Amino acid sequence: MNWNEKVVLVTGGTGSFGKKFIEIMQNEYHPAKLIVFSRDELKQHEMRTSGFDHPSLRYFIGDVRDVQRLRRAMHGVDVVIHAAALKQVPACEYNPMEAIKTNILGSGNVIDAALDAGVQKVMALSTDKAVSPVNLYGTTKLAAEKLFVQSNAYAAGTNTRFSCVRYGNVVGSRGSVVPLFIKQRANGKLTVTDLRMTRFWLTLEQGVRFVIHCTELMQGGEVFVPKIPSTRIVDLASVIAPQAELEVIGIRPGEKLHELLINEDEARSTLERPEMFVVTPTATLWQRDLKYEGSPLPDGFRYASDTNPQWLSVEQIRQFVAPFEESNLQEV
């Protein structure tokens, strides 16, 4: 795939993922044009004035809830990375219809606009919270996954293809526990919801590079899941503030003790590769000769943060946290 010949649009382009994606694209892949699609003019202005001002960049104000605006933005676009979402679990619980409008209906709009514009590849970002969801955010992302996978049926006779990437917590992203712990450290007390809690972790750069790699690989219909390490929240807390007291405040509404990236039922249609798992569509309404590469998983397999064979060591946690420690020092 020759990125330097492609016009690429990223929804939610001013978010944590969007900025890192555009940075890596500009520095390493040099696409013909990069379009930042987002609804906040202030964030676009701040992004442009902070150095994202390359001649190949375009800033397009719009909301994924507005399908006509998406159609206009996707004119002449080859690749869409769909990163726009309402992602804060408590906010989605309190504002359920807003989460549905953005995460589900907005995803449907992205699909419709991409089909109408003849976009070649559409990659949507999902989350471990979409697997056996217990909160509205996860439920909306599960619905979005189903929309993107099955929308390959609507692309019959065209070159448009839809796939998803699903991964765990991104260190230091908006709402992440890492900046919270660093902030709380000054008071000598860190709030932890449950001492047993585990999570999948990866860096923002790892997430972006995985999305780029899977966009190159995708045939349409796959959900790509990276093999990433787990960590215990108490281990994270002890690295950030070893002398601090831990205050257990209880699990919040919609929160799990442990996260899943693949459940037992999904595993039956999942293939394993050295660096990832590929969840293939169980039933397709489109007729294409697709041969997904990989080895089948054993019966009863589940990819969970508490039984993950790969765990971050204390030193690895320090390396994950280090950039946010430096950022905190600069702010002070």
DSSP string for residues in 106-139: HHHHHHHHHHHHT-SEEEEEEEGGGSS--SHHHH
Q: What pLDDT, on a 0 to 100 scale, did the predictor assign at position 294?
A: 93
pLDDT of res. 230? 97
Q: Which pLDDT belongs to residue 288?
A: 64
15 DSSP assignment: S
Distance CA 184, CA 179 (A): 9
User: Can you name the CATH fold of 3-331?
Assistant: Rossmann fold (3.40.50)
Distance CA 159, CA 122 (A): 11
Do 78 and 8 touch, CB atoms closer than 8 A? yes
Structure tokens, 15: 């978010």
Quote the strand ranges of the chain, DSSP E.
7-11, 33-38, 57-61, 79-82, 121-127, 161-167, 169-170, 189-192, 198-202, 223-226, 230-232, 245-248, 260-262, 270-272, 276-279, 295-296, 303-304
Whole-prediction pTM value?
0.95
What is the per-residue pLDDT for 249?
94
Domain ranges of the chain: 3-331
Predicted confidence at residue 155, as pLDDT, reads: 87
* pLDDT the model gives residue 291: 77
Catalytic positions, please? 129
Question: Can you give the pLDDT at residue 292?
Answer: 82
For the chain, which ranges sit under pLDDT 50? 329-332
